[in-house]
Structure 1
Amino acid sequence: MTTVNQEPYRVGGKSFTAVAINTAAKAGEWIKSRVGEIRRVDVKYSSHDLVTEVDKGSEKMIRNLILTHFPHHAFLGEEGVEPGPEASAAALENVSDAEYLWIVDPIDGTTNFIHGFPFFSVSIALAYKGEVIVGVVYDPMRDELFVAEKGKGAYLKAAKLGVSGESALSESLVGTGFPADREGALPINLAGINALMPKVRNLRNAGSAALHLAYVAAGRLSGFYEIGLNAWDIAAGALLVQESGGRVTDTAGQPYTLGVRNVMATNGLIHEELQNELQQAGATGL
């Protein structure tokens, strides 16, 4: 799966991007082979926050493959972190001093995967001194692998990605989500949905934040926002959007960092209008 023709990021002769691509592809192929074969579903933070043996197996595979190539790099994966926002923030803080940090969601869209709804992804990002430099989001059901390198653009099957051209919310298809935190994040997100629904062409929630971000990068969505996400949900997709000419901030309009949990990503043209609507609705979560 070739993507960028320019010289990729390397260490010791090994391309970070090539390792991320190959790892995501292998994990995705294995995940796809397990659709419909789930033996056990466990509850994490809430009854809507689920994990399977496939999530855990995928993360183990990804960790082993990456650390085989880069044994001294740090690794932050969703399934290695205790459930809940406090634990997520603490886990990120524990690796904040790492020079190279891989940030992984082994299956973004586990509920979809469990039900056989074909919208889930593998998300792999690499941060260097806190800044994402490589981002890969792989949709195994459509065999679509979105790849970005900082400063070198974003690609899908060797075609360069670009964000959409809508300049107003009234023309825009916007993605969002229904957070697993039913007591905290969900009511805030729903307030945003109620405010935006009359203002946009339509809203979509397909259940994978990483793929929603990839779709913003590909021009399939004009924008995306969600309250209460984690670094592994956002990191790879954020770089995809930025390298496709879009804009990523928190819901108050402040620059994206790995610590952002309330995220907003757009084609850039509707960014301020979307942020204003969320602000007026009290739906920024900040």
Structure 2
Amino acid sequence: MPETLETTAAATDATLLDRTATAVRTAGTALRERFGEVTRYQTREELMHALAANDDTALDILRPRLTSLRPHAGWVEDELDGGALPPGEWWVVDPAEGNINHLHALPEWAVTATLVRDNQPVLTAVHLPMTGETYTALTGAGAHLDGRPLNIAPTTDLGLSIVATSQARPDEDEEVLRRVGSSITAMLSDALVVRTAVPATLHLLNVAAGRIDAFWQFAGARADLLPGTLLVTEAGGQISDTQGRPWTPQSESFLATAPGIHTQAVATLTR
């Protein structure tokens, strides 16, 4: 079969994904070596210093490796940034997703790297150093856990569903906090179980793997939503804002669900 531009591009992106996965695994190993005792801090300044030390450890590995893979791609410096990116390719990286958990000797943290092309995630690699798992997704080629395909849950009843939400960032706007609180109350009434924890990416991995049925969040940043967005979509899930409209990085809310409960979840979150 003759090779076309499309198949060549797909092969190139697949190779790029493999190398990206290697990079996040290497950075994850470095962060795991720093994991153990609870990091104590007395001030916000001490906390920010400890968070930055973890970030720098991973970025010292990720940045040169990913830059060498795509020298002309831009680089998102702040994992809390949101909104649309300029045209072209960008690396959206969270060097320590769930960094606060790492500092508190909790195992729920990851290293993520996502290549965005003209504001669409093309490929993503998420490594969980404490379990050794690596989740990957490539546009049009599915989502995988260590090479095994991921599939969304077949759930059709919100009342039998496990759902989850997350805090987008510290010091959130008071109106956003009220929306978070009321949405949790609504889901406690309509869903079977509600999980609330950070980081968002780990909940989205679970949606993609069919372990939980929905995740929602108000506000949010590119780095904590784009990896999971691609994983969930490629696993067969549905992405929107909480009102059921198409989601973009500029949206004020986010919802990822098994398709069978999407309408029910929207109804709960908008009443």
Please give the range of the TM-score, normalised by the shorter of the 2 chains.
Answer: 0.7 to 0.9
Question: For residues 220-251 of structure 1, what are the alpha-carbon distances to aligned partners after superposition, in whole Å with 9 as ceiling and x for unaligned?
Answer: 11010011210111111100000000011112
Residues 157-166 or 174-183, more deviating: 174-183
SS of residue matched to 1:253: coil
CA–CA separation in structure 2 for the residues paired with 1:217 and 1:41: 38
Q: Write the letter of the residue equivalent to 2:193.
A: N
Q: Write the letter of the residue equivalent to 2:57.
A: G
Matched, 1:187 2:162: no
Residues 14-23 or 68-77, more deviating: 14-23
Question: For residues 232-271 of structure 1, what are the alpha-carbon distances to aligned partners after superposition, in whole Å with 9 as ceiling and x for unaligned?
Answer: 1111110000000001111221222233352100111111
Structure-2 change in CA distance of 1:7 and 1:162 (3 Å)? farther
CA–CA separation in structure 2 for the residues paired with 1:64 and 1:259: 29
Structure-2 change in CA distance of 1:27 and 1:9 (3 Å)? farther
Bigger proportion of residues as helix: 2
- State the match for 1:96 in structure 2: 86
- State the match for 1:33 in structure 2: 33
Map 1:50-65 → 2, pairs under 5 A: 51-65=51-65
- State the match for 1:227 in structure 2: 218
- Percent of aligned positions that are identical: 27
Map 1:70-89 → 2, pairs under 5 A: 70-78=70-78, 88-89=81-82
Question: For residues 196-231 of structure 1, what are the alpha-carbon distances to aligned partners after superposition, in whole Å with 9 as ceiling and x for unaligned?
Answer: 102111011231101111110000110100112101
| Residues 17 and 138, structure 2, Cα contact 8 Å, conserved in 1 | yes
Please report how far the alpha carbon of residue 31 of structure 1 lies from its aligned counterpart in structure 2 after TM superposition: 1.0
Structure-2 change in CA distance of 1:7 and 1:256 (3 Å)? farther
Map 1:1-286 → 2, pairs under 5 A: 9=10, 15-36=15-36, 38=39, 43=44, 51-78=51-78, 88-89=81-82, 92-93=83-84, 95-97=85-87, 99-179=88-168, 180=170, 181=172, 183-280=174-271
Structure-2 change in CA distance of 1:170 and 1:16 (3 Å)? same
TM-score calculated relative to the size of structure 1: 0.83
The number of residues matched between the two structures is: 260
SS of residue matched to 2:91: strand
CA–CA separation in structure 2 for the residues paired with 1:41 and 1:214: 33
CA–CA separation in structure 2 for the residues paired with 1:253 and 1:43: 37
Query: For structure 1, which runs of at least 5 residues remain unmatched after alignment?
Result: 1-5, 281-286
CA–CA separation in structure 2 for the residues paired with 1:102 and 1:61: 14
Question: For residues 21-58 of structure 1, what are the alpha-carbon distances to aligned partners after superposition, in whole Å with 9 as ceiling and x for unaligned?
Answer: 011101111111111365879748xx89x833112321
CA–CA separation in structure 1 for the residues paired with 2:20 and 2:250: 22
What is the CA RMSD across the aligned residues, in angstroms?
A: 2.5
Question: For residues 98-148 of structure 1, what are the alpha-carbon distances to aligned partners after superposition, in whole Å with 9 as ceiling and x for unaligned?
Answer: x11111111111121111111111121111111111022211111111100
Residues 103-112 or 178-187, more deviating: 178-187
CA–CA separation in structure 2 for the residues paired with 1:42 and 1:233: 25
Please report how far the alpha carbon of residue 8 of structure 1 lies from its aligned counterpart in structure 2 after TM superposition: 7.5
CA–CA separation in structure 1 for the residues paired with 2:145 and 2:73: 27
